[in-house]
Structure 1
Amino acid sequence: MLDAKSDTPMFTADDAVCPVHAKPDHPAIPPARIGILVANLGTPDNYDYWSMRRYLNEFLSDKRVIDYSPFIWQPLLQGVILTKRPFSSGAAYKSIWNEEQGESPLMTITKAQTEKLRDVLVKRYGADVRVDFCMRYGNPSTKSKVEEMIRDGCQKILFFPLYPQYAGATVATANDQFFRALMDAKWQPASRTVPPYFDRPSYIDALAQSIERAYGAMDTKPDVLVCSYHGVPQRYLMEGDPYHCQCQKTTRLLKERLGWDDTRITTTFQSRFGPEEWLQPYTVEEVARLAEQGKKNIAVCAPAFSADCIETLEEINEEIRESFEEAGGERFTYIPCLNDDDAHIAALEEVIAENLSGWI
């Protein structure tokens, strides 16, 4: 059954029955099932001020994202930041909003990914596999989807954050929220979380195919492909977060798969926030430097994102493009994320199948 508002499965326990040898007043129990719950970052419900404020408050209050002392950070957040930022962020979301569906592109794409994954996984394993999605911030919440799966009889849940590379501010906080949801369950299902998949050949091949298709459609090939990853503070690397290394390896594996040399591809980091030093080079500065060095035709892709979102559709395709063009760049091509591309779905199916081993 579908929720008319969200078009996502609304689980029910209509087939729940009382155990054969139990007393008549024993609670009904649905048949045992396996849940596969994919997770993405999240999205505001709308781009108006209060929707943006609620979303930003949840996001920027996450200590995995902003790890400053709350005694220092929260007065700043609840004061000047959440007074002003919902306006600028709302304008950015409005510029990319899917008005037809009344939702952000990230929501539209995540629904499409989930639908395709559901089709292939039910075909592979049968109808007792439940496939759904949740968001770390905003709706549908992780907690609500875990509760739905438990009500539907999912005694085992595979939780899959859709981030190719591991970072504390992405994968770890998604897992944290999943475990918090399990803490409230009376009958806690067995659970697994999916590790990073950035170096899986099927993922790298799907990424390479998207680059090859984009280049194949161009009359003149770009001078450089910029692989722009979401940034994190530099000190996270020094504190043991493997994200920087996994991003660098992603670019190297992509370069090797494409058969390119080092001059044709580079790694950069975007979305810097706050006063401290973040991973470098910064994308917005690097594209300007490339233009000034005579690289007038570049392409940009975003291998850290499984779906196009505000950071790709607005930041890369608007802000970073503008930086390149103002520095003298002439041709800027943004290559979309893998989204619900069939090769991407096949790679995700492969990851899921491997992590279901022994369960099904």
Structure 2
Amino acid sequence: MLDGKATDKPMFTAADAERPEHARQDHPKVPPARIGVLLANLGTPDGYDYWSMRRYLSEFLSDKRVIDYSPLIWQPLLQGVILSKRPFSSGAAYKSIWNEDAGESPLMTITKSQTVKLREALNQRFGDDVRVEFCMRYGNPSTMSKVDQMIREGCQKILFFPLYPQYAGATTATANDQFFRALMKAKWQPASRTVPPYFDRTTYIDALARSVERSYGALDTKPDMLVCSYHGVPQRYLMEGDPYHCQCQKTTRLLKERLGWDDTQIKTTFQSRFGPEEWLQPYTVEEVARLAERGIKNIAVCAPAFSSDCIETLEEINEEIRESFEEAGGEKFTYIPCLNDDDAHIAALEEVIVENLSGWI
């Protein structure tokens, strides 16, 4: 389903709605009560042209969960020099990975496929009582539009599921914020739950380990080191109480234990640094170069913080970070794809959903 052909047709329409029993003739029709599961991913621009990129980057970089500088200082800088130049470089990066057949980014293609597979799995388990949709924190389809759609289709309970294994204020929290903003606009507000991080679940770690084992099994020579590259955040976020760093470290430890490895075979690093301040270290782009200089010439890199391959994995890891390793003398670089719509991943996500629907269905 990664060829862009997965469909996302509404399962319920206004024709399902009926006037409540004993209600007056002028009473509005009400759809049958259902439960909604709303998956949330980071987002994607609608295209890689300048204006699509500018709209997307403006929304993303204006989020105070992502960039928490004073808007009096940050917004003139963002709307001026940054958004005059960055859409060109970011657009070129997106163009290099774009799914031209589907006219969308790989993140969109993969998220659609994950949604279709989870919808099929949950429909088999619960029937038509559960509605499964996806939204994006930035870009389209927006969280607000999907919450509104679910309410119109009778979802009186909504389980909101940010697709981030580890919690971070700049990912999980901002996705939840947007969900709550959408609920604030509802006349008939549904009961709601948000899904906690799932980085330490056995099924998730097992799916991650199996992807590593599968990739290693296809290679002629086993890599000397597996680099687990997580998206970075400023170091001060850790000092202010964000648990992301600790959850990333635990993910790597659990993966190492599941694989039966020792500390010499696996390493945690952080990528995607932005701005002048110190971020979580070691930085992936620098660490892979150090590994090559130390004589570790064959490495693999995976991205356990991403549920779907995206610009940070397909372009940053598989192009920029690979280049840093090879320029420092590295010889063999293997990128291990994200779990995407792999069946083991879908089963792990289904387990999380079913557990969090407990008491509702």
How does the TM-score come out when normalised to structure 2?
0.98
- Specify the SS of the correspondent of 1:98: coil
Q: Distance in 2 between matches of 1:355 and 1:276?
A: 38
Structure 2 residue aligned with 1:191? 192
Q: Distance in 1 between matches of 2:355 and 2:293?
A: 46
- Specify the SS of the correspondent of 2:15: coil
Structure 1 residue aligned with 2:245? 244
Matched, 1:179 2:180: yes
Matched, 1:44 2:42: no
Q: Which amino acid in the other structure matches residue 274 of structure 2? A: F
Structure 2 residue aligned with 1:165? 166
- Would the aligned equivalents of 2:273 and 2:279 in 1 still touch at CA under 8 Å? yes
Structure 1 position 6, deviation (Å): 9.0
Structure 1 residue aligned with 2:66? 65
Q: Distance in 1 between matches of 2:77 and 2:167?
A: 29
Q: How does 1:1-360 map to 2 (within 5 A)?
A: 7-10=7-10, 11-360=12-361
Q: Which amino acid in the other structure matches residue 338 of structure 1? A: L
Q: Which amino acid in the other structure matches residue 67 of structure 1? A: D
Identity of aligned residues (%): 86
Q: Which amino acid in the other structure matches residue 169 of structure 1? A: A
- Would the aligned equivalents of 2:166 and 2:199 in 1 still touch at CA under 8 Å? yes
Q: Which amino acid in the other structure matches residue 130 of structure 1? A: R
Q: Which amino acid in the other structure matches residue 65 of structure 1? A: V
Structure 1 position 247, deviation (Å): 0.1
Structure 1 position 344, deviation (Å): 0.2
How does the TM-score come out when normalised to structure 1?
0.98
Q: Distance in 2 between matches of 1:333 and 1:68?
A: 37
- Specify the SS of the correspondent of 2:249: helix
- Would the aligned equivalents of 2:204 and 2:345 in 1 still touch at CA under 8 Å? yes
- Would the aligned equivalents of 1:306 and 1:337 in 2 still touch at CA under 8 Å? yes
Q: Distance in 2 between matches of 1:208 and 1:178?
A: 32
Q: Which amino acid in the other structure matches residue 29 of structure 1? A: V
Partner deviation per Cα, 1:201-235 (whole Å, 9 max, x = no partner):
00000000000000001110000000000000000
Gap runs ≥5 in structure 2: none
Structure 1 position 13, deviation (Å): 2.1
Q: Distance in 2 between matches of 1:37 and 1:334?
A: 30
Q: Distance in 2 between matches of 1:116 and 1:6?
A: 10
Q: Which amino acid in the other structure matches residue 163 of structure 1? A: Y
Q: Distance in 2 between matches of 1:313 and 1:45?
A: 18
- Aligned CA RMSD, in angstroms, stands at 0.9
Q: Which amino acid in the other structure matches residue 54 of structure 1? A: R
In the alignment of these two chains, the number of paired residues is 356
- Would the aligned equivalents of 1:9 and 1:132 in 2 still touch at CA under 8 Å? no
Q: Which amino acid in the other structure matches residue 9 of structure 1? A: K
